[in-house]
Amino acid sequence: MELSEDRFHTPCPPPDPRPRRPRRFTVPAGGVDTHAHVIGTENYVDDRRYTPTPASADEYLAMLRATGMTHGVLIQTSVHGTDNSVMLDVLTEHPDMLRGIAVVPANVTDRTLATLKASGCVGIRLNIIGGGGIGDGLAQLDRYEAICRELDWHIQFLVTPAQLLATAPRLRELTVPYVLDHLGDVDVTDGTASPRWAAMLDLMRSGAWTKLSGAFRLATTYPFAELRPFVRELLDVAPERCVWGSDWPHVAFWGTMPNVGDLLDLLADWAPDSAQRDAVLAGNPQRLYGFPPPPAVP
């Protein structure tokens, strides 16, 4: 989506200041929000697609507490490019609670990678839609794959459905785990019979992970009923590799800000079986991000 000059220069609206737990089910012990950002007050890259409202560590941690989450995964935001320092500061303060996904240039040094790993990073994000100083990340995919194989990390992709379809043959060859952001950025107007959605399902069958996130970006009116058949198909083909994310603080979005509790409540329709829903919220992300399961209740 092309952004107007006004949207580039005017900060995004802040998130809903009163996040809450879901009303339609109870978040399981060990729940993980796998997609959120912390954003500093300066050092934004010139090629950004939007200007953010800063989102502090305190606000982020308050959101996790308010929604009943035990753990969180911070994703390096594109506006900070390859300067991961804001995210790393939060990770190092909360090593048991948080993990991170970094953005790095292809020529990143071993010293930088060691620092990222020691700080709690478990993967690299290639944001092909939003820029952020890495150039053509898909062209450097061999290098990123080698980094992740060496460090026992995974790769997280933000790509359009057209990019996903074009890249699918290479993704099927990856030797490291990989995650497709926001339901593969599905275009709901394509319908579930489209070749682009068929490519997404094929990748999921062959080992990809995805995040059940970003519904407010992909559909129009809550509860985003047009997304349900897509999510159900993902859960049918790979229920063990679907995870949930809030996408807090909902950057580059100028519509009505969602409440994270409402986004969680979508899972009551998407995954009505409580065991499957608990796997999406806890069991699956615990495996992917290396969080220990909570102690068994005696």
Helical axes 141-151 vs 110-119, angle rounded to 10°: 50
Alpha-carbon distance of 177 to 165, in angstroms, equals: 18
Q: What CATH superfamily is the domain 5-287?
A: Metal-dependent hydrolases (3.20.20.140)
Residue 162 has pLDDT above 70, yes or no: yes
Q: Give me the mean pLDDT over the 175-191 stretch.
A: 97
Q: pTM for this one?
A: 0.95
Residue 94 has pLDDT above 60, yes or no: yes
Q: What is the pLDDT of residues 30-76, one digit of tens each?
A: 999 999 999 999 999 888 889 999 999 999 999 999 999 999 999 99
DSSP E strand boundaries for 76-198: 98-102, 121-127, 154-158, 178-180
131 pLDDT tier (thresholds 50, 70, 90):
low
Domain residue spans of the chain: 5-287
CA end-to-end distance (rounded Å), the chain: 51
